[in-house]
Amino acid sequence: MRPSNRRSSRSLALRALVPLALLLAAPAMAVDVDGHIDPLEWQGAKRITDFRKTQPLNGEPGSLPTEAWVLSTPEGLAVAFRCIQPPDVPRTHQRIRRDEQAQVDRVNLMVDFDGDGRTGYNFMVTLTDDLNDAVLTNESRFNTDWDGNWKHAVSEDAQGWSVEMLIPWYIAPMRKAIGGERTIGLYLDRVIGSTGERDAWPVASFNKPRFLSDFTPVTLPAYTQSLFAITPYAVAIRDQVRGDNTFDGGADIFWKPNGQTQLTATINPDFGQVESDDLVVNFGAEETFFTDKRPFFTENQGIFDFSMLIDNSQLIYTRRVGGPSDDGNGSGDVTGALKLNGSVGATRYGVMAAQESGDAGRTFSALRLIHDFGSQTLGMEATRVDRPWLDRDADVLGIDHRWQPNAKLTVTSNVVGSAIDQNATTTRGYGATSVVEYEMNERWTQEWLGMHFDDKLDLNDFGYLPRNSLNYLHYEVRRRFADLPADSRYASHVWHWRVVGMDNDHGLSLQRQFRVIRESQLRDGGEADWQLNLNAPAHDDELTRGHGALRTPLNAVLDWERQSPRKGNWAWESEVELMGSDRVGLHRIGYAATFQPTYFINDAFSVFTGVTYQFNPDWLVWQHDNLIGSFDSHQVMLDAGVNWNIGSRQELRVKLQALGLDAQLLQAYRVNGDMRAVAVDDPVNDFSVRNLGFQIRYRYELAPLSDLYVVYGRGGYAFDPLYREAGRQFSRSFDLRDSEQLLVKLAYRFEL
């Protein structure tokens, strides 16, 4: 009987193993994205439990348990989070608008689909099932202008909350899989809203020199999806100032025939009629940078990221397309645009073209190539703009390189050249940038940055470069303090010490600066930062727009910012800045103060009112040729609004910005040959400015990436060549009515 029993036991064991083997061999079953983690649906998923603190960045186990599951399915990459949060730990149920940054309970899934550290995608879901999505480039640069189509759901119980996400494989172009498997870079984190603690897997941080490159490689079964989607839109506009009606329409087209290739096109693209830019009054020589929310120009734009590694400089600044027309008659009318992204082996490519209509219509084109050599990547970007109205053609070529020989050292470099043909004359310019970042250990980091732009380099036909004629060097050392005493009100500090030297391309000193920054995270989830810049005497070669450089005095700037997350019904932000004057430096001190409280009527309805007051003594403003005026200036600005999430599909936003500025003349000056300001009697007037921007925007989500908008907007700008107090100009700004429109826009995405 014993042999029989043994055979029976073996038989039972085999019968038990067969279903398990079949289950493991079978393709992953579909995940029902409902926020409830069903063990059967997540059978075979990679389970992750080792979440550790990265905010503060000390690598200790998280204070609350977090688990995650990662599963490759035919429908997409599925990820689930289980966040333990017992009743004694406060939960934040505050609603946020899409892509808003707020101190709330949330989880982040970040994916580098090619696993090469070049481009990542961030998918964030809050406890209230609101979302944020962004493209991640240049290790830690997040761009939230992009909106993707992906699934998410949240459930909540007494002991915690759960999130399920499903990211379709067509969300981004990716390399061809090898052997039926795909290796991606993966990062997961969970943020506790009441304390600001961030627990992550792996222990990586966007506050370190490397972030995207530190994602953990994860090999998963490979699937591919094809998609064809078209999003037609129609817009009706009632212009209350001109008394006329306008009707317009267009379409965005998205086609992904396979995993490696993606085509995006647009016909008569929407120029963001439902998005309003912030008010800016700029009397300086450098252009103001604005982001772009047009879907075509945000869809998988990351491959075209070619930064000059300082500020917002880029070879492609998409706001140029459809920007101010070359003939001076409003904005350029974009007839259509096309973009092709894909990969062949270890080489990724991107091609983009756009055409404006009319005699002044410009033609934009770009080619991007990136090849991965393992520890190194090498890329090329070429752009061309044809501007017939100006008889101008602009060609730019850039080569960029990144080298990561080990886990501590990253070297990022690029060289660029421009060739501008205008009126049968060709002007060529060159530039180069290199950044070396060395992370000595978890506490100390060093950074060296060197830059050279000659005075003929011109990227601004398609790109954005604040200035050329620049030689720049800085050295920075950073020290992290992440193990502060438990009774400290601070959770962590990061100190930055930097020395800066900047000259123009003719050897004239523009800046000699010592900078100290402390960035602090508080244990209540808030932040407190301060920065001190000490500037030695130097020169300003931009003030007179090429009519002579001006000596600048010893100067300093001290800035303090504080962000306090919501406690009860209130949250607030504040900033105070002290600065010396343009003309006499520390002999006269200016200041600016901002205070913005937010009151939460409930979790879905909030009202904010931000007020800024600024005094700028001996402010230098260019008049013409080498004539400048020195003014005492005051500025009052209001930035207020209402945010109301009306259920899960509707939202109402009100945005009001009003500004008043005065400038009372102290003295007129001319910049003489020895670069000094000499007092003159040339007529220079006092002046004042008022500006208004007001918008009421209602959105109803018909389906993912399909919306109905009803928008009322009003605004205006007035420059007065006489002195009126800033407070009076602020009050009068509400009378401005250069534009007043009622807009209705309907966009609906059809997927085939």
What's the pLDDT band for 624 if we cut at 50, 70, 90?
A: very high
| Mean predicted confidence (pLDDT) in 635-664 | 96
**Same domain flag for 141 and 265:** no
Above 50 in pLDDT, residue 86?
yes
Q: What is the mean pLDDT of residues 647-652?
A: 92
- Please tell me whether residues 312 and 423 are part of one structural domain: yes
Percent of the chain at pLDDT > 90 equals 83
Same domain, 206 and 296: no
CA–CA separation, 111 and 148 (whole Å):
13
Mean pLDDT over all residues of the chain? 92
Helix, strand, coil content of the chain in percent (nearest 5) = 5, 55, 35
State which amino acid sits at residue 617.
P
* Mean pLDDT value of segment 705-731: 95
Inter-CA distances, 113 with 110, 132, 171, 220, Å: 10, 18, 10, 11
Structure confidence at residue 34 as a pLDDT band (50, 70, 90):
very high
| Per-residue confidence (pLDDT) for residue 29, from 0 to 100 | 61
Is-contact 464 314, C-beta < 8 A?
yes
Q: How far apart are the first and last CA of the chain?
A: 64
Domain count, the chain: 2
Structure confidence at residue 273 as a pLDDT band (50, 70, 90): low
Question: Pairing mode, if any, of strands 66-73 and 119-126?
Answer: unpaired
Does one domain contain both 349 and 408? yes
331 CB-contact burial (10 Å; exposed 0-12 / middle 13-18 / buried 19+): exposed
Residue 169: pLDDT band (50, 70, 90) is very high
Residue 54 domain flag: yes
- Do 101 and 209 share a domain, yes or no? yes
User: Does 90 share its domain with 177?
Assistant: yes
| Residue 696 resides in a domain | no
Which pLDDT value is given to residue 4? 39
Closest C-alpha to 705, from 104, 156, 170: 170
CATH number at residue 361: 2.40.160
Give a yes or no: residue 302 inside a domain: yes
3-class DSSP state of 745 = strand
Indicate whether 200 and 299 sit together in one domain: no
pLDDT in tens, 484-508: 998 999 999 999 999 999 999 999 9
Q: Per the domain annotation, does 577 fall within a domain?
A: no
Q: Are residues 306 and 217 in the same domain?
A: no
Structure tokens at 413: 């470099």
pTM for this structure? 0.89
DSSP string, 426-487: EEEEEEEEEEEEEE-SSSEEEEEEEEEE-TT---TTTSB-S--SEEEEEEEEEEEE----TT
242 domain-assigned: no
**What's the average model confidence in pLDDT over 175-201?**
94
Give the phi and the psi of residue 480 in degrees, each rounded to 5.
-105, 135
The answer to the question of residue 552 being in a domain is: no
Please check whether residue 86 lies inside any domain of the structure: yes
Residue 624 burial (C-beta neighbours within 10 Å; 0-12, 13-18, 19+) = exposed
User: 296-320 burial string, b = 16+ CB within 10 Å, else e?
Assistant: bbbbbbbbbbbbbbbebbbbbbbbb
Mean pLDDT calculated for residue range 418-423 = 96
326 and 412 in one domain? yes
Q: Are residues 122 and 60 in the same domain?
A: yes
Last residue of a domain, one of 426, 443, 466: 466
**Domain's final residue, options 466, 499, 527:** 466
Go through the chain and tell me how many residues it has.
752
Q: Above 60 in pLDDT, residue 1?
A: no
Q: What is the CA radius of gyration of the chain?
A: 28
Does the structure show a pLDDT above 60 at 15?
Answer: no
Q: pLDDT over 70 for what percent of the chain?
A: 95
State whether 99 and 139 are in the same domain: yes
The domain containing residue 379 runs over which residues?
247-271+287-466
Look-up of token digits 């969300």: 171
**pLDDT score at 270:** 67
Torsion of CA 314, 316, 317, 322, to 10 degrees: 170
Q: What is the CATH number of the domain that holds 92?
A: 2.60.40.1190
Q: Is residue 128 part of a domain?
A: yes
**Of 417, 440, 466, which residue is a domain's last?**
466
695 alpha-carbon distance from chain centroid: 22
Bridge partners, residue 248, by sequence: 235
Do 210 and 303 fall into the same domain?
no
DSSP string, 210-246: -SGGGSEEEEEE-----EEEEEEEEEEEEETTTTEEE
What would the two tokens of residue 555 be? 């100067």
Distances (CA, A) of 702 to 190, 641, 749, 750: 30, 25, 9, 12
